[in-house]
Amino acid sequence: MRQLLRALTAAALSAAALSVALPTATRAQGMGFTLMGGANVAIGDLGTSSDLGIGISLRREAGGQSAGWGYRTDFSFDRFATKGTVDNYQYIGVTTNLVHNTNRELYQYAGVGIFQAKTVPSSTGIGAVNSYTESAFGLQGGVGLALPIISDKAFLDVGVVTVLTSGRTSSWFPIRFGFRI
């Protein structure tokens, strides 16, 4: 839980700093960045072997909030503590999504990407698990909701991610809070 709070605090402070540093010209063209952080709820095979995870994302958006259709590219890092001889599972991903803005407050997205999946062995020396890394194809989709009560740049994003790793499928529900910067 402390890691989640640290990640969310770092994400919020970084978003504030970047919003001051980035030029407004990209925002005027309907392009911008968002920074998100939150929790990941593992499901399926990944849920059986891991606990609640944390995730952070930086994404590049084009099309604006009220443009109807747009696209975005997400750069994400997701980590799950495990139950057993493995210390954690890590996923670094780059995905491209098609985004549909229903209105200024609600959007839906779906996309494809490539992920690096890594298994990190436990440092306690119990069991014979080796570090393992692979690249895998992934899918994601979900919905987002603007939170104007907090800020005109704040939003909540809830989705599902499936990474087609060898031997098992890694799936989770990312629940992220973010800011447009």
Q: How far apart are CA 85 and CA 173, in angstroms?
A: 24
**What mean pLDDT comes out for the span 133-152?**
94
- Residue 150: pLDDT band by 50, 70, 90 thresholds? very high
pLDDT value at position 16? 41
CATH number, domain containing residue 45 = 2.40.160.20
Q: Which domain holds residue 149?
A: 2-180
Statement: residue 109 has pLDDT above 60: yes
- Determine whether 13 is exposed, middle or buried from the number of CB atoms within 10 Å of its CB (0-12, 13-18, 19+): exposed
- Residue 66: pLDDT band by 50, 70, 90 thresholds? low
pLDDT 10s digits, 132-141: 889 999 999 9
β-sheet bridge partners, residue 154: 179
Q: How far apart are CA 75 and CA 163, in angstroms?
A: 15
Statement: residue 51 has pLDDT above 60: yes
Statement: residue 18 has pLDDT above 80: no
**Count of domains forming the chain:** 1
**What mean pLDDT comes out for the span 75-93?**
90
Tokens in use for 95?
A: 């995905």
Residue 161's nearest CA partner among 173, 177, 175 is 173
